[in-house]
């Protein structure tokens, strides 16, 4: 059994059959298998005699090959035709032969690639449709349990809610602030470059303010949370599912919706508007920095224009979208977690899917909302 390569296994032809010599062990497996294929053109030659007298080391992989050469039925009578072998080796060969009697190769279904590709497209489309249906159902379920809990303050999970607000909201403040600050600076630069040709550099202030109040503040914060928190929700709930923790909750008569989903959804709906507000401020600050340092617009001038030219409704339009985005992101994150099955692979796939879906939804809804607000003249 020690894996010495002293006498590599061989299979030779001799009068009346085949002769196996040397070590039939795992390191020689690949080569021995090739030899067997060569020695045995056609697969009907299972009846040959096999001489084991020169056999060295033998392990299960070698035993498998020997059984393949003469077939499991004959190997079960190994004690008759190879009595010189020690009892342990008989035991091994018998065990392997017994196992191989029942381990016929499983036919794998083969289909033409064209049909497979069509089938794959069909499956993807069907999944897409089913996904939206499931999402609608899950939204209904969430709203239903929210309604049932709302009037019963003793069932509010305040501790869980606060913990989730800390994770999704408070801990995300630095990254959201930094991100929006940088994007604010970039927008200001872009605006200045284009507007300078018209001698309208001063309107950079309006550009930054409008962009961040209406769109960028909420959009950047939402995308950040979709990547940061929707994935976390999916992974948390998914691995709880894999560990049968969700089933354990249900079996104890506890509602996973109430315990797991509602605190997360509510925490998200509280955190995102706050983060949006912070994002707006810090984006405008980024713009202000560029205006002051690069465009010769003083800070007082900047603030003056900001106050004079920017109606409140831009701020409200931007902030109003935040709870809707938050709800969608949280619901998608949780739902994907519940869809994960027991495997690590599946948790990974659903985490990816939850991030992609929630970012897609956020941008889609934002585009629809932009058109709606434009038509309304808000």
Partner 1 sequence: MSRSEEAVIEVRGLVNRFGPHVVHEDLDLDIRRGEILGVVGGSGTGKSVLLRSIVGLKHPDGGSIRVFGQDLRRLPADQRSRLERRFGVMFQRGALFTSLNLQENVALPLIEHAGLSRADAEHLARVKLALAGLPPEAALLAPDALSGGMTKRAALARALALDPEVLFLDEPTAGLDPIGAAAFDQLLMTLRDALGFSVFLVTHDLDTLYTACDRVAVIARKRVLVADDLATVEATDDDWIRDYFHGPRGRAASQAAQRLEDQ
Which of residues 88 and 375 has its CB atom nearest to partner 1 in the complex? 88
Is residue 23 involved in binding partner 1 (CB under 8 A)? Answer: no
Piece in contact with partner 1 (CB under 8 A), picked from 171-179, 307-315, 338-346, 357-365: 338-346
Measured between alpha carbons, how far is 177 from 212 in angstroms, rounded to an integer?
Answer: 12
Cβ 19 to partner 1, closest distance in Å?
22
Piece in contact with partner 1 (CB under 8 A), picked from 77-85, 150-158, 279-287, 337-345: 337-345
Across 332-341, b (16+ Cβ under 10 Å) vs e yields bbbbbbbbbe
In DSSP notation, 189-246 reads HHHHHHHHTTT-GGGHHHHHHHIIIIIIHHHHHHHHHIIIIIHHHHHHHHHHHHTTHH
Q: Distances from the Cα of 83 to the Cαs of 160, 351, 355, in angstroms?
A: 72, 60, 66
Measured between alpha carbons, how far is 1 from 153 in angstroms, rounded to an integer?
Answer: 69
Is residue 46 involved in binding partner 1 (CB under 8 A)? Answer: no
Cβ 175 to partner 1, closest distance in Å?
31
Which of 4, 12, 26, 140 touches partner 1 (CB under 8 A)? 26
Q: Are 232 and 167 in contact (CB under 8 A)?
A: yes
In the region spanning residues 85 to 114, those forming contacts with partner 1, defined by CB under 8 A, are 87-89, 91-92, 95-96, 99-100, 102-106
CB neighbours (10 Å) of residue 24?
Answer: 25
Which of residues 33 and 111 has its CB atom nearest to partner 1 in the complex? 33
> Length of the chain, please?
378
Is residue 2 involved in binding partner 1 (CB under 8 A)? Answer: yes
Cβ 194 to partner 1, closest distance in Å?
50
Which of residues 1 and 376 has its CB atom nearest to partner 1 in the complex? 1
Classified as helix, coil or strand, 296 is coil
List residues binding partner 1 (CB under 8 A): 1-2, 25-27, 29-30, 33, 59-61, 64, 87-89, 91-92, 95-96, 99-100, 102-106, 242, 341-346
């Amino acid at each position: 059994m020690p894996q010495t390569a002293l006498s590599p296994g061989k299979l030779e032809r001799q009068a009346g059959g085949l002769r196996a010599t040397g070590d039939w062990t795992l390191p020689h497996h690949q080569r021995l298998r090739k030899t067997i294929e060569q020695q045995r053109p056609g697969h009907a030659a299972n009846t040959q005699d096999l001489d084991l007298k020169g056999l060295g080391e033998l392990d299960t992989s070698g035993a498998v090959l020997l059984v393949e050469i003469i077939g499991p039925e004959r190997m079960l009578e190994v004690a008759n035709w190879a009595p010189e072998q020690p009892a342990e080796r008989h035991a091994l060969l018998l065990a392997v032969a017994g196992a191989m009697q029942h381990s016929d190769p499983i036919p794998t279904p083969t289909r033409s690639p064209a049909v497979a590709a069509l089938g794959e497209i069909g499956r993807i489309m069907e999944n897409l449709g089913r996904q939206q249906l499931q999402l609608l159902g899950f939204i209904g379920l969430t709203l239903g349990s929210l309604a049932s809990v709302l009037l019963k303050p003793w069932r509010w999970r305040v501790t869980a809610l606060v913990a989730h607000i800390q994770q999704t909201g408070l801990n995300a403040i630095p990254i959201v602030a930094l991100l929006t600050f940088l994007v604010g600076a970039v927008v200001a630069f872009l605006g200045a470059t284009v507007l300078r040709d018209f001698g309208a550099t001063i309107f950079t202030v309006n550009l930054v303010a409008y962009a961040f109040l209406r769109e960028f503040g909420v959009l950047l914060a939402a995308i950040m949370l979709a990547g940061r928190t929707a994935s976390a929700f999916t992974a948390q709930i998914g691995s709880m599912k894999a560990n049968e923790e969700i089933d354990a909750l249900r079996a104890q008569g506890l509602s996973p919706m109430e315990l797991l989903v509602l605190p997360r959804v509510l925490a998200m709906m509280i955190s995102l508007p706050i983060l949006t507000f912070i994002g707006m401020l810090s984006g405008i600050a980024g713009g202000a920095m560029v205006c002051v340092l690069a465009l010769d617009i003083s800070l007082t001038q900047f603030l003056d224009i900001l106050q004079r030219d920017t109606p409140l409704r831009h701020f409200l339009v931007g902030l109003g979208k935040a709870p809707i985005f938050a709800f969608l992101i949280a619901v998608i994150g949780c739902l994907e977690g519940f869809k994960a099955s027991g495997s690590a692979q599946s948790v990974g796939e659903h985490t990816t899917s939850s991030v992609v879906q929630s970012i897609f939804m956020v941008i889609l809804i934002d585009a629809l909302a932009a058109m709606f607000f434009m038509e309304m003249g808000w």
